[in-house]
Amino acid sequence: MDQQVTEPATATQPSVHLLSDYAPIVGQPEIDELWMLARALPGRSVKMVNSTAVGGGVAEILNRVVPLFKEVGLAMQWDVITGGEAFFSVTKAFHNALHGMAYEDRPEWKEIFLATNEENRKRMSFGDSFVVIHDPQPLPLVAAREGKNNHWLWRCHIDLSQPNERVWNFLRPFVEKFDASFISSAAFTHPLAIPQFLVAPTIDPLAEKNRELEPEFIDSVLQRFGIDKRRPIVTQVSRFDRLKDPLGVIHAYKLVKRYVDCQLVLAGGGASDDPEGSLVFAEVQEAAKGDKDIFLLNLPPWSHLEVNALQRASTIVVQKSLREGFGLTVTEALWKKKPVVASAVGGILRQVLHKVTGMLVHSVEGCAYQIRYLLSNPQLAKRLGEAGHDHVKENFLITHTLKNYLVVFLLLEKHSH
Ligand code: UDP
């Protein structure tokens, strides 16, 4: 059953929070420390640049950190580069290639990539104290630093463990023009002329995506999509992207379904910088055809409350990515105390500690096995979920992101004088 959703659920709580609102979760000393760090950077400005305002983890994080940076006194601007279909086809091909997927070079690609970045460079300004470029799409903007005294950081959110060499060799010279890079896993380091900081992405526990929800609201979301709350619900929330392996999830569900009467929810949506979404969605529709217990939910980008409710309603959350920079969907599920079955790839390995905070898998069969195992061991499932929540609380909440940036900004300033 596939469903297109057009109406957003209504938010009953504010969507922007003050730093002090996080004290009950992370403790007052953590908040005090952030203010102390920020006070050491008076009057500084920061520009964040990425390639989409909605959809995907980067936009998710920027939406939440920008207001907090402003609150602690940094003048913060978030700019999104623009580009045509041809540009985003190239950047998606680079994205897949950097994840080690098949890559076929087209002679015009580099030119399109450079020309679109050049157009963006001309229309944007880069006079801020710190410029943070997210991911490979806007990398060539670093040309704008020439003749300036400011600091440039490259925040790489993707899994660089096995990049296609040709694409990496083309992009590396841009990377080496930055002062430093941020990566999400030690496995993504490469021999580079600049420092690489290991920094995990984080979630905002107070955001609509993650805050506590009334059981009635969760029920209403299930009802709206026709999902049966009395039978087990296995869910993967992800953009419809081959690297998220939605077909593998359906395959695993079908193996489980032979023994357990469960339902599968594949909730996803597009991102404006991902032109492959509708193609993959069509493949997924084909694979799900004829099974009333598979729910394909094509959600618009503002569906935070729906995603939250679906994650909370799930018996098990799956993330069967083939490659994964980090996987905020995993963090979100762990925060909600859900037992997670996830592929042993990329940044997921920092989150899912096998048999402690979830189950790691290496194949469709392994995924099916662990889903069945957890469905028949609710006590263990509960324990994993609780340990997962604590792990996120210790390591992957938004205040960590703030602190990481502030510390690195201070370091960059210190070392340039
Ligand atoms: N997401 C969403 N709606 C969707 C699919 C994903 O809101 O239909 C959110 C998801 O909750 C998470 C982010 O998008 O916050 C995805 O981040 P992740 O790091 O898991 O993957 P990415 O899309 O960045 O590869």
Q: Are 8 and 303 in contact (CB under 8 A)?
A: yes
Q: Which of 336, 337, 334, 339 is nearest to 375 (CA)?
A: 339
The neighbour count for residue 65, using CB atoms within 10 Å, is: 20
User: How far apart are alpha carbons 353 and 356 in whole angstroms?
Assistant: 5
417 has a pLDDT exceeding 60? no
For 293-325, what is each residue's pLDDT tens digit? 999 999 998 899 999 999 999 999 999 999 999
d(CA 205, CA 352): 18
Tens-place pLDDT, residues 211-258: 999 999 999 999 999 999 999 999 999 999 999 999 999 999 999 999
**Pocket mutation for ligand 1, best pick of 54, 96, 239 (most atoms within 8 Å of C-beta):** 239
267 CB near ligand 1 (under 6 Å): yes
Lowest mean per-residue pLDDT among 22-26, 30-34, 56-60, 273-277:
273-277
- Model's pTM, two decimal places? 0.94
* Alpha carbon of 25 to ligand 1 centroid (Å): 23
Q: Is 299 in the pocket of ligand 1 (CB under 6 A)?
A: yes
CB of 305 sitting under 6 A from ligand 1: no
Average pLDDT, the chain: 94
For the packed helices 109-123 and 85-98, what is the interaxial angle rounded to 10 degrees? 110
User: What would the pLDDT profile of 93-142 be if each residue is shown by its tens digit?
Assistant: 999 999 999 899 898 999 999 999 999 999 999 999 999 999 999 999 99
